[in-house]
């Protein structure tokens, strides 16, 4: 998978801005001060859309609904990176049984998220929590149940 352009919090972000944001994600002290990070992610053929907010900002709590993604996409991921550096990356299915189209759409976003963040400096392996692993396995997106972003990237 090729690296995509990054749209970060509604703005086109160059590689240097994205790399500096990832440095903050990698820094345990910053993650702890911020209470972790909340995010949403979507992608298309050319762009990875990321909305990222600290869990807490100057004592105020942020929420996922405060994060807007460019174009309000139909398929997106929502999750968090906790202070220990563990990701929770979920999606809200549009149907009870995922169609092959939906599986493919969500899978592409997971792959774009993993590939681009790791390529831009996110510390490997990008551990996933058990809920994420079980969701990916039971939904059929990644039947082998990856435990890290690195394992997701290896599926591209």
Measuring CA to CA, which residue among 101, 141, 2, 3 is closest to residue 152?
A: 141
* Per-residue pLDDT at 1: 67
* Per-residue pLDDT at 83: 97
Q: In DSSP terms, which residues pair with 51 in a beta bridge?
A: 40
pLDDT tens string, the chain, 156 residues long: the values are 678 999 999 999 988 899 999 999 999 999 999 999 999 999 999 999 999 999 998 889 999 989 989 877 999 999 999 999 999 999 999 888 999 999 999 999 999 999 999 999 999 999 999 999 999 999 999 999 999 999 999 987
* Per-residue pLDDT at 106: 97
The domain of 29 spans: 5-153
Angle of CA points 102, 103, 107, to nearest 5° = 115
* Per-residue pLDDT at 2: 78
pTM here is 0.94
Total count of domains within the chain: 1
Which element (helix H / strand E) includes 10? none
* Per-residue pLDDT at 91: 97
| Tokens, residue 42 | 């979507």
Q: In DSSP terms, which residues pair with 53 in a beta bridge?
A: 38
Instruction: Tell me how far apart the alpha carbons of residues 19 and 24 are, in angstroms, rounded to a whole number.
Output: 9
* Per-residue pLDDT at 29: 97
User: Tokens 């396995």 correspond to what residue?
Assistant: 137
Q: Estimate the share of the chain in helix, then strand, then coil, as percent rounded to the nearest 5.
A: 35, 25, 40
Number of H helices, E strands in the chain: 5, 8
């Amino acid at each position: 998978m090729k690296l995509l352009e990054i749209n970060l919090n509604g703005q086109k972000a160059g590689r240097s801005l994205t790399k500096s944001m990832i440095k903050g994600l990698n820094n345990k002290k910053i993650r702890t001060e911020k209470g972790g990070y909340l995010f949403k992610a979507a992608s298309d053929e050319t762009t990875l859309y990321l909305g990222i907010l600290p869990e807490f900002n100057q004592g105020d709590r942020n929420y996922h609904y405060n994060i807007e993604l460019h174009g309000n996409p139909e398929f997106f991921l929502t999750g968090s990176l906790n202070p220990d550096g563990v990701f929770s990356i979920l999606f809200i299915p549009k149907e009870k049984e995922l169609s092959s189209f939906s599986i493919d759409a969500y899978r592409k976003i997971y792959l774009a998220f993993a590939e681009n963040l790791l390529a831009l400096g996110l510390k490997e392996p990008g551990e996933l929590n058990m809920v994420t692993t079980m969701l990916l396995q039971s939904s059929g997106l990644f039947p082998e149940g990856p435990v890290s972003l690195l394992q997701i990237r290896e599926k591209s």
